[in-house]
């Protein structure tokens, strides 16, 4: 780890042509991004179906219930997912397969017990939980919570197994299971049960997660056995030192995950608890577009974490910073056009999800979109900070963000409803990105602010904000104007990306590419 007095080379000069490792990083990011976009489309379709076909009370209860499930699922893993990525990637880079085996045992065995205990506790206290999250008056609330206990356990298992496979160097398992299989099955099953009540919808939402967990677990076992066979090293039993090392790193991240889940899900639960079903629906509809931007961040995060960990393990800090800078540029390239579109055409985008009446939530979407511009420009800063080993600093920042979020939620929701929730989340997003970006630069000499980032930002501003703004002024915030903007801005952005591919570190990503430096 670096200290505050150490300074390391960063990528401020001309962009270099991607080496094979950078091309693999880009291809992995593109694969994860494509999967995330597909999953986002499935989520949008699911939200639209539930919003339009279920009764207002049942739809509100469904969103509160699923938000509760996602929040609680972070508890039993206690940071082991990120720990698996960190240690497996490092030990594979160092050729220490004996430590790979120990890491799997140390990470998976205790969390398996914690996952089971969490599920049983939720089943036992389902009555109380229904009151806490404000759905006790909806028929089937207790049964729905008991069913989501299964989904919570399966979600935690998916997190662990997909983390392990990414630590083994594979993104395909995560993409297929978490971004394709699970959302497709959820869309089909929830859509087929949307008029049958909360319990049936809970079954439709939970079952696909169980299927994904079984599939991911099988893939993890297969990849471990293949690696062990190739290494010809017999894994040794877990030792106390390895267990302490793993959990000393992972435990702070476990609390971080819980705090981040609170920031991401507490707003819906608080809105539901104060008895405002329409406010919940407006907020969920608007926040789906924010989630789309977060999926792009998560997609790049899944690819970047093992790369950063392996580079730092090998002492390649310049390579780690180059990967961080390039990934941030690609994230801005993918997400800023969406954020600008949300700002320009907020009413039309919400009408797509919930009908004309949902245009009232336009201000919510604009506030959240602005915060996502800031978050994307900081890149995967939390993940990079974790890969440097500074997990306690991650914890401190997450604590600051959740305190800020909760204080603003209880202060603003009574007066401003769902718009107050949007302001609270936006401020928390800015805090949780700007603060670690500053500290990462000061403590480790790693920064996302490179020439590639400037090019990506400029391209998004010209192709989307400027061109889309002209269309918005001329044609207004209508579905027809939105469609025109998507086509024209999309074509302009794509052409610009191709023309600026060298400056964006994308040369050779889809082919052999040039081995020379950039101009």
Residues contacting 240, CB < 8 A, separation 6+: none
Residues contacting 88, CB < 8 A, separation 6+: 100, 103, 104, 164, 167, 168, 306
Q: Tell me the CA distances in angstroms from 447 to 27, 476, 482, one per residue in order.
A: 22, 39, 35
**CA-based angle 132:178:97, to the nearest 5?**
110
Q: Are 301 and 85 in contact (CB under 8 A)?
A: no
What pLDDT score was predicted for residue 8? 33
Angle between helices 418-444 and 240-273 (to 10 degrees): 150
CB atoms within 10 A of CB 435: 17
Q: Are 305 and 86 in contact (CB under 8 A)?
A: yes
**CA-based angle 70:73:76, to the nearest 5?**
165
- CB half-sphere exposure, 332, CA atoms < 13 A: 28
Q: Is 194 helix (H, G, I), strand (E, B) or coil?
A: coil
Main-chain phi, psi angles of 396, to 5 degrees: -65, -40
Q: How far apart (Å, rounded) are the C-alpha atoms in residues 222 and 336?
A: 38
Residue 340's closest CA among 372, 294, 295? 372
Q: How far apart (Å, rounded) are the C-alpha atoms in residues 45 and 62?
A: 15
Q: Are 328 and 504 in contact (CB under 8 A)?
A: no
Buried b (16+ CB within 10 A) or exposed e, 462-492: ebbbebbeebbeeeebeeebbeebbebbeeb
What pLDDT score was predicted for residue 23? 65
Q: Tell me the CA distances in angstroms from 328 to 300, 338, 408, 454, one per residue in order.
A: 8, 15, 29, 10
Question: Please, is 339 exposed, middle or buried when counting C-beta atoms within 10 Å of its C-beta (0-12, 13-18, 19+)?
Answer: buried
Residues contacting 63, CB < 8 A, separation 6+: 50, 268, 272, 280, 281, 284
DSSP 314-352: TT-HHHHHHHHHHHHHHHHHHHHHHHHHHHHSHHHHHHH
What pLDDT score was predicted for residue 28? 66
Q: What is the pTM of this model?
A: 0.67
Residue 159's closest CA among 146, 144, 177, 172? 177
Helices (H), 95-231: 97-124, 126-132, 141-167, 172-174, 182-193, 198-231
pLDDT tens-place values along the chain, 519 residues long = 333 333 333 344 333 344 566 666 666 667 777 777 788 788 878 988 998 898 888 988 898 899 888 888 888 888 888 889 888 888 877 777 778 888 888 899 999 999 999 999 999 999 999 988 888 888 999 999 999 999 999 999 999 999 999 888 887 888 888 889 999 999 999 999 999 999 999 999 999 999 999 999 999 988 888 776 655 455 454 556 778 888 888 888 778 877 877 777 677 777 777 756 777 778 877 877 777 767 667 767 767 777 777 777 777 888 888 888 888 998 899 889 999 999 999 999 888 877 787 888 889 999 999 999 999 999 888 888 888 878 788 889 989 998 998 899 889 888 888 888 899 989 999 999 999 999 999 888 889 999 999 999 999 999 999 999 999 999 999 999 999 999 999 999 999 999 998 888 776 554 444 443 333
Residues contacting 264, CB < 8 A, separation 6+: 70, 71, 425
Q: How far apart (Å, rounded) are the C-alpha atoms in residues 519 and 505?
A: 12
Residue indicated by tokens 């591919």: 501
What pLDDT score was predicted for residue 275? 59
């Amino acid at each position: 780890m670096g200290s505050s007095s150490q300074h390391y080379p960063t990528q401020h000069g001309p962009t270099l042509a991607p080496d094979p490792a950078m091309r693999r990083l880009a291809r992995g990011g593109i694969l994860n991004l494509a999967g995330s976009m597909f999953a986002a489309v499935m989520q949008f379709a699911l939200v639209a179906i539930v919003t339009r076909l279920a009764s207002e009370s049942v739809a509100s209860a469904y969103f509160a219930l699923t938000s509760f499930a996602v929040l609680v699922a972070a508890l039993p893993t206690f940071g082991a997912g990120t720990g698996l990525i960190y240690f497996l990637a490092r030990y594979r880079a160092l050729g220490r397969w004996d430590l790979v085996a120990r890491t799997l045992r140390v990470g998976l065995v205790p969390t398996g017990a914690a996952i089971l205990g969490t599920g049983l506790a939720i089943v036992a206290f389902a009555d109380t939980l229904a009151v806490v999250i404000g759905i006790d008056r909806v028929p089937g609330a207790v049964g729905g919570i008991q069913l989501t206990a299964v989904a919570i356990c399966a979600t935690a298992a998916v997190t662990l197994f997909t983390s392990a496979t990414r630590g083994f160097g594979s993104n395909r398992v995560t993409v297929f299971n978490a971004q394709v299989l699970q959302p497709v099955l959820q869309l089909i099953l929830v859509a087929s049960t949307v008029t049958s009540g909360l319990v049936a919808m809970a079954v439709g939402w939970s079952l696909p997660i169980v299927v994904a967990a079984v599939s991911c677990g099988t893939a993890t076992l297969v990849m471990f056995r293949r690696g062990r066979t190739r290494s010809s090293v017999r894994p040794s039993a877990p030792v106390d030192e390895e267990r302490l090392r793993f959990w000393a790193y992972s435990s702070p991240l476990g609390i971080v995950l819980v705090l981040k889940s609170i920031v991401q899900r507490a707003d819906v639960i608080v809105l539901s608890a104060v008895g405002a079903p329409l406010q919940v629906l407006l907020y969920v509809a608007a926040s789906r577009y924010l989630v789309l931007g977060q999926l792009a961040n998560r997609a790049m995060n899944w690819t970047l974490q093992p790369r950063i960990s392996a580079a730092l393990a090998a002492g390649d800090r310049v390579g780690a910073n180059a990967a961080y800078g390039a990934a941030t540029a690609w994230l801005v390239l993918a997400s800023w056009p969406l954020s600008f579109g949300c700002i320009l055409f907020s009413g039309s985008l919400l009408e797509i999800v919930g009908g004309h009446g949902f245009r009232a939530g336009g201000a919510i979407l604009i506030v959240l979109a602005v915060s996502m511009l800031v978050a994307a420009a900081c890149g995967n800063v939390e993940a990079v900070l974790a890969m440097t080993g500074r997990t306690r600093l991650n914890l401190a920042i997450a604590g600051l963000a959740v305190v800020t979020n909760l204080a603003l939620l209880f202060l603003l929701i009574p007066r401003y409803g769902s718009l107050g929730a949007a302001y609270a989340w936006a401020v928390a997003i800015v805090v949780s990105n700007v603060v670690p970006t500053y500290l990462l630069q000061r403590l480790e000499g790693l920064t996302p602010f490179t020439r590639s980032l400037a090019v990506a930002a400029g391209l998004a501003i010209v192709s989307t904000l400027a061109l889309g703004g002209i269309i918005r002024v001329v044609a207004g915030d209508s579905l027809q104007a939105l469609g025109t903007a998507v086509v024209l801005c999309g074509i302009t952005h794509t052409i610009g990306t191709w023309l600026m591919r060298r400056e964006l570190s994308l040369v050779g990503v889809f082919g052999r590419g040039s081995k020379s430096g950039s101009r």
